[in-house]
Copies of this chain bind each other. A is one copy, B any other.
Amino acid sequence: MVRKSPASPEPQYLKVQNHLRERIASGHWVAGDLLPSEAELVQTFGVSRMTVNRALRELHQEGLIERVQGVGTFVAQLHRISSTLTVRDVHDEIAERGHRHEAVLHRLETLKATAEQAAEFELPAGAELFHSVIVHLENGVAIQCEDRLVNPLCAPDYLAQDFSQSTPTHYLLQVAPLSEARYTIESTLPSESEAKLLGISRRDPCLVVKRSTLSRGRIVTTVRLTHPGSRYLLQGSFQA
């Protein structure tokens, strides 16, 4: 009993979804309101329950509705505006803007971990870590200073890479499959060396992203990405 007419590119579950989406966006239902049950929507749209269920499940995953077993489906309290923030490989990001990317390698070395660093990587005190400092330029302008520590157990050949050709992010994702990452975003002043490398004043505010990346339960790398505030911003959007 499939009734897919030839000129119907829009799947049924999307029809249900868009109908509900519009009614919510238009204020026909407001936060907390009870939506029609799956059985009612089955009647209204003349589709099977699995189709209605998929439409509702996806709206739930988006955070637009709340579902309570045994009770019903409600419009979510949209007291938060969440959206997917993407922290990307800086090379791809620049390339996508149609600009030229250059990387200048300032350090690539082995160093002894401080007690704090060793603890973070769960390595014995005094263990060796790889360290790199790279400045990324967009059309010749410095937009990011990448100061990175790498766990030698996860990427033993790190020091042998040519980072004028490929970024550390790109290389590390190849050798160590990403399983988890944690990051913070903050606004601070640059260190003296960062200011020098980026060609800015120590008084210029910077957007700093700190990130730890895990693979197979081990910390692969920690990085501090410092961006001159005047040359870089994060942006995003949210659609109900």
Contacts and interface: CB of A to CB of B under 8 A. Distances in A.
Nearest to A233: B186
Interface in A197-214: 203, 205-208, 211, 213
Q: How many identical subunits does the complex contain?
A: 2
Contacts of A89: 79-80
B235 A183 contact: yes
Interface in A23-49: 24-27, 30-31
A26 B24 CA distance: 41
B188 A185 contact: no
A236 B83 CA distance: 12
Contacts of A24: 177
A98 to B, nearest CB: 18
A169 B79 contact: yes
A156 to B, nearest CB: 15
Interface in A174-203: 174, 176-189, 203
Given A79-B92, A84-B85, A235 B205 contact: no
Contacts of A236: 85, 182-184
Interface in A142-196: 169-170, 173-174, 176-189
A19 interface: no
A99 interface: no
A178 to B, nearest CB: 5
A134 to B, nearest CB: 17
A206 B185 CA distance: 12
A81 interface: yes
A100 interface: no
Contact of A180 (B173, B187, B203, B239): B239
19 contacts: A27-B215, A27-B216, A30-B177, A31-B174, A79-B89, A79-B169, A80-B88, A81-B178, A82-B87, A82-B88, A83-B183, A182-B236, A185-B233, A185-B234, A187-B188, A205-B205, A205-B206, A205-B229, A207-B207
Given A31-B173, A81-B88, 6 more contacts: A78-B173, A80-B88, A81-B86, A178-B240, A186-B229, A188-B230
